[in-house]
Amino acid sequence: MASRAKATILDIAREAGVSKSTVSLVLQGSGLIRPETATKVRKAIEDVGYVYNRGAANLRKAHSNVIGMVINDLTNPFFAELAVGMERVFQAAGIVPFIANTAENPVRQEEVLKSLMEQGVAGLIVSPARGTTPGAFRRIEAAGVPVVFAMRRLPESRIPAIAPDNHRGAFLATQHLIAKGHRRLAFFGGSSDLVVYHDRLGGFLEACETHGIPAADRTIVEGETSRKGGMACLETALASPESPTAALCFNDAVAFGVMLALRKRGLEAGTDFAVVGFDDVAEAEHYIPALTSVAVDTAGLGERAAHVMLKMIQSRTTRAEDHIGAVNLAVRESCGPDRNARGAGMGDAA
């Protein structure tokens, strides 16, 4: 009996013909392991006489009241508002949130995630940096640590994501511009290596198709998702012979940059060029002119991400359903009046 009491995870792994990490995940009740594999591991546990000391396991997770919030760009007010929503829920639950800014750098992100894992975090909410590879979270998943993606998801990933309905939001915004009478439209900002870019661009293109805007009258300019990026996008678009008269911007930061660039040219959003943002950050309502933007309930999405994370930790699971948040168009002054009677009668989405 004494020898059986000293059985280790390695003994179970040998008996079941699996890796040590697979055995650990089964012991933790992880949902990542196939049922037939879990059954084989549980039989091996009985055969070798292993006793799982959950108290010792909990002691090894001494920092289990810490949750990492890994954000791609805290200089963007949208992500700051998102983080505040998360933090509000965690503080109320007695959880210590640790926030880190990766500045859209996947190498920095990898360092932050490694450090947080070493600190024994109970879970991670991540808005992945640009250029993050699908395999970047494989080790964390294997360790059984719950992860939730906020705002951004990775292709082919099983990690649950909390995000707004990006496609629908872009569709509504573009339809609004068309209903105002604009026929030469632009999509500014973002890059093709982001899933969210394809979601928002897809909504823009679908609205153009639905309302008969030909491909020749659509201008798509990739760029940084910042004010600087927005300024560069506008300059590029206005340099073309058939320049657009209205733009849906990847986010509000890009929209603010577009409006600044217009002003530098002696033009004004709403009067000379229509601008719609995406996210509806607090500044949008108070900008001059006030920015029309796709409202996504930023703080609410942050709160939802935090609640999902708490439930995953309490349920000892790494699985959860994706959540797609509702969107609506907050119509303000940056699109100006209708350009013609035909546009006014097209069924404005606002």
Residue 53 is predicted with a pLDDT of: 55
CB 172 within 8 A of CB 109: no
The Cα–Cα gap between 315 and 270 comes to 50
Q: The sheet that has 246-249: what strands, in order across it?
A: 218-221, 185-188, 246-249, 274-279, 292-295, 328-330
Angle (deg, nearest 10), helices 9-16 and 20-27: 110
Q: Phi first, then psi: give them for residue 66, nearest 5 degrees.
A: -105, 130
The model's confidence at residue 214, banded by pLDDT at 50, 70 and 90, is: very high
The pLDDT assigned to 178 comes to 98
pLDDT tens sequence across 19-44: 888 888 888 777 778 888 989 998 98
The DSSP H or E segment spanning 97 is strand 96-101
Which tens digits make up the pLDDT trace of 235-256? 999 998 889 999 999 999 999 9
Residue 231: the pLDDT is 98
Average of pLDDT values for 48-57?
62
Residue 147 has pLDDT above 80, yes or no: yes
Prior bond of 289 cis (ω within 30°):
yes
d(CA 261, CA 24): 56
- Residue 217 per-residue DSSP state: G
Spatial separation of the C-alpha atoms in residues 219 and 332, rounded to whole Å: 23
Query: pLDDT higher for 240 or 54?
Result: 240
Q: Which pLDDT tens digit goes with each residue over 165-188?
A: 999 999 999 999 999 999 999 999
Q: How confident is the model at residue 6 (pLDDT cuts 50, 70, 90)?
A: low
**What number is the average pLDDT over the span 269-280?**
97
Q: What is the pTM of this model?
A: 0.77
> 12: how many CB neighbours lie within 10 A of its CB?
27
**From CA 91, how far away is CA 139, in angstroms rounded?**
28
| Position 341 pLDDT exceeds 70 | no
CA distance 18 to 154: 28
Angle between helices 20-27 and 35-48 (to 10 degrees): 90
**Residue 244 CA from chain centroid, whole number:** 29
Closest CA to 193 of 154, 235, 251, 150: 154
